[in-house]
Amino acid sequence: MNSHVFSQHNDQAQMEAIKLEIAATFAKIENLKAEMAAWYAEGRMQRFPRYQELATLEDSLSRLDTAFKSLWDKQ
């Protein structure tokens, strides 16, 4: 197998892994957003206690999107 074909195969495998991680991260974000909405719907005024976790997941999702796009653009 020449290096170009191997590189394409490796890129495809990386893209598939990133897509799975994007889906899992997105699901976690959606769950936390629902939890946060319920938190505030109960009339609480203080900051949602898992806000930092949500922000970290959103940052991770952004980095995953960037990594996926970079691999996509190489095709």
pTM, whole model, 2 decimals? Answer: 0.84
Res 8 pLDDT > 80: no
Amino acid letter, residue 41: A
Res 7 pLDDT > 80: no
Q: How far apart are CA 14 and CA 24, in angstroms?
A: 15
Contacts 24+ apart (CB under 8 A), 58-65: 58/29, 60/25, 61/22, 61/25, 61/26, 61/29, 64/18, 64/21, 64/22, 64/25, 65/22
Domains of the chain, residue spans: 3-74
Q: Could you give the 3-state DSSP secondary structure of residue 42?
A: coil
Res 2 pLDDT > 70: no
pLDDT value, residue 1: 45
Q: What percent of the chain has pLDDT over 90?
A: 83
